[in-house]
Chain A
Amino acid sequence: MQIWDTAGQERFQSLGVAFYRGADCCVLMYDVNNAKSFEALENWRDEFLIQANPRDPDSFPFVVIGNKIDVEDSKRAVSTKRAQAFCASKGNLPYFETSAKEATGVEQAFEVVARNALQQEDAQDFSQEYSDAININLDSDSSSCAC
């Protein structure tokens, strides 16, 4: 399993189509102290669905994470309730609040990400006729060579 972040290429909307290909799960993350970052989630979700072009867009697993909950309450700009309402409206997306800085909630969130990704992968393999990719890194022990 690989987890990719946007590596800064999102800054000027310069994520290439290759970035989205073959994803089994998409994590939408925002800053709970920044309303704009929350409001952008819907656009990111649309962009993902257009670029990744998944077989069944309605059931594609997204996970929403509100980060930076360690920052003092007075700075908080997006309430849990508002975030949950958004997730409910998008087909009951799992929602987590985390502090990456203090490692709060990160493990639970990524466990769900991993679980949903695996489920999605299984569902796809079943319908995919050719899953015959070659692992070109011969010294790798992460997965066996297809040949």
Chain B
Amino acid sequence: MSSYSATAATRRGSVVPPLSGIESNGAQNPIPQKCDVLISGTGLVESILAAALAWQGSSVIHIDPNPYYGDSNSCFNIDQLLAWVDRVNRPPSSSELAAERIFSNARLYMPRPLDSKKFLVDLSPKIMFARSDLLSLLIKSRVFRYLEFKALGNFHTYENDTFDKVAGSKEDIFTDQSLSLVTKRNLMRFMKFVLEWEENTELWKPYQNESIEKFLTEKFKLEPQQITELVLSIGLCQSLEVATPVALSRIKRYLVSLDIYGNFPVLFSMYGGAGELAQGFCRSAAVAGATYKLGTAITSVDDKLVTLNDGSRIQVAEKIVLSPSSAVKKENTKNGILTRLVAFVAKDCKEWFAENEQAALVVFPPSTLSTNNKTSVQAIILGSGSGQCPEGVSVWYLSSTEQDPTKAQRDLEEAFTKLEASILRESTEDFEFENIDESDVSYRPDGMPVLSSVKLGQSMQNFVPREKLQYLLKLSFVEKVEYSAQPDAPILPEETPEASPATVLRAPYGLSEISYDGILTQVKNLYTKIVGSDDDFFDVDFEDEDEASAGANQTNSSAPNAIDASTVNQIDSRDDDIDEFGQDMEL
């Protein structure tokens, strides 16, 4: 069965000849005939699950129908992106009618061909709070060693046509000249409260079903601008209507993440977000003995006997887990949508970044755009230091949780033009003021507004930049995500599921949340359905693993363990640091 050459031929569209194995006699071992758990799809949720199960002792076979890792979390070079856009837009063949489609409505504009490998487009860009469950797991599991993280310190809020940098720390508030003494005092009082909000129930309990806006106005006398910044930028909530406890936990998340690694609350991983983390966890699973085979799909499931498209049959002892894109269409269930707009722009955008940083976050709160947006538009801006674009270029990732796709698209386009005008204004030396009128607005035949066709906001009305912003690539698409009656809620713990009697488990859709929060909850839910509880989730002493493998490696070169030549480090939970931080905040 020479299924490998077929795989290699389609793989990345590259010219790589099929690789011969280095197994004895040069023969390829067939895929194992049985396993405890078979997982299809290498998105982040499935990959963390694979690693957790493999380290727990289950035998895991992890496949992916695609010839690359990441599933719906992949990060593509230009060649891969072009193929992906084609796939998303192709009408389903008769055999694909039942198949789930996660992405839709992909629109790509690329004026000129780009050097494929110099640009990476992340399907699910995410930021990681310095104090978060997934970051702790990255350290505990040692997967962090396979990744490179960088800082993101600047959170901007778009208001009254300007980008204000958010005063997110005690120092920022003290030094902010625009704040009155009363406002400063009120803000400080709130900052102190929110670090211990869970204990101070008497203050927020009456508001637990009320909006955070009402709570902050009535209890802390905060001004609308401060409320907007706290809830929508620092808390990254979608609207001011969010329930008080949800918003408080999200605001606290930012504050306790400051000053852990430096003067910034979040990090991002180089070369891509969730897809890079997924590859790290897959490697970890492989080290623990999981079998990996890309470009392989399930063709049929007969009770617990699975047939793959390479002809092999696998007897599964426990469960079969399918990523959403590996599964059949889910009928009669609600899902939400997330609309994205991605652009590579020929500007480094360093004006938005903090010193020595290569990333920033911009939030357009509800009702700040001329489209009268109901939810925030959130944007992650990455410079060349992200490894996703060459120097002098930046990549903009805008997303909207607006559930009407047409309106979401309009919100994103409008936010995009604001970003465009802002960076031209901030990076230009020579201002030129002229009048501009409606006739200057033009649209391309496909409906995309042409560069300078900005519906200018008030303070920009007379600003006409001499230079035009050149964009190298612009892409928009819609992704199916978990439906959430209460947006921003996944950060709160869900009720624990029980072991599932069903053999085939379906992994959940992605989350619209811009950070990684909520993902581990999704993984643990699946883990519990398979194992019975999550008590032993990554309950591995990697110290011992290292010693064992170091011993083994002296006699057996083929021990499948990563060898870390650096000193073996103690891994601790950082809970203690958080308490100290809380005390530091005493005024």
- Would you call A133 and B150 a contact (CB within 8 A)? yes
Q: Which of A16-56 contact B (CB under 8 A)?
A: 16-19, 21-22, 29-31, 34-37, 39-40, 43-44, 46-47, 50, 53
Assembly CA distance A53 to B144 (angstroms): 22
On chain A, the number of residues with a Cβ less than 8 Å from chain B's Cβ atoms is 55
Q: 21 pairs across A/B with beta carbons < 8 Å?
A: A2-B564, A3-B562, A5-B560, A8-B291, A11-B292, A12-B292, A13-B4, A13-B8, A13-B18, A18-B147, A18-B276, A34-B24, A39-B20, A43-B18, A47-B16, A67-B557, A100-B556, A132-B151, A137-B139, A143-B566, A146-B262
Among B25-33, B168-176, B188-196, B237-245, the stretch in contact with A: B25-33
- Would you call B565 and A36 a contact (CB within 8 A)? no
Q: Which of B132-180 contact A (CB under 8 A)?
A: 135, 138-139, 144-151
Set of chain B residues within 8 Å of A46, measured between Cβ atoms: 16-17
Interface residue from A4, A43, A47, A132 paired with B356 (Cβ < 8 Å): A132
B286 to chain A, nearest CB (A): 4
Residue B419 interfacial (CB < 8 Å): no
Q: Which residue of A lies closest to B283 (CB)?
A: A7
- Would you call B271 and A21 a contact (CB within 8 A)? yes
- Chain B residues within 8 Å of A, Cβ to Cβ: 4, 7-8, 11, 14-26, 28-29, 31, 68-69, 117, 130, 135, 138-139, 144-151, 260-263, 267, 270-271, 276, 279-280, 282-283, 286-287, 289, 291-294, 296, 356-358, 384-385, 391, 554-558, 560-567, 569-572, 574, 577
Set of chain A residues within 8 Å of B291, measured between Cβ atoms: 8, 11-12
B357 to chain A, nearest CB (A): 8
Q: Which residue of A lies closest to B282 (CB)?
A: A16
- Would you call A16 and B19 a contact (CB within 8 A)? no
Assembly CA distance A8 to B384 (angstroms): 33
- Would you call B26 and A36 a contact (CB within 8 A)? yes
- Would you call B148 and A8 a contact (CB within 8 A)? no
Residue A129 interfacial (CB < 8 Å): yes
Residue A139 interfacial (CB < 8 Å): yes
Q: Which residue of A lies closest to B287 (CB)?
A: A7
B298 to chain A, nearest CB (A): 15
The majority secondary structure among interface residues of chain B is loop
Assembly CA distance A127 to B238 (angstroms): 41
Set of chain A residues within 8 Å of B293, measured between Cβ atoms: 11-12, 14
- Would you call A50 and B139 a contact (CB within 8 A)? no
Assembly CA distance A3 to B557 (angstroms): 13
A11 to chain B, nearest CB (A): 7
- Would you call B148 and A133 a contact (CB within 8 A)? yes
With A129-B385, A132-B356 as known contacts, state yes or no: A40 contacts B20, CB within 8 Å: yes
- Would you call B139 and A8 a contact (CB within 8 A)? no
- Would you call B151 and A147 a contact (CB within 8 A)? yes
Set of chain A residues within 8 Å of B267, measured between Cβ atoms: 134, 136
Residue A59 interfacial (CB < 8 Å): no
B130 to chain A, nearest CB (A): 8
Assembly CA distance A130 to B151 (angstroms): 12
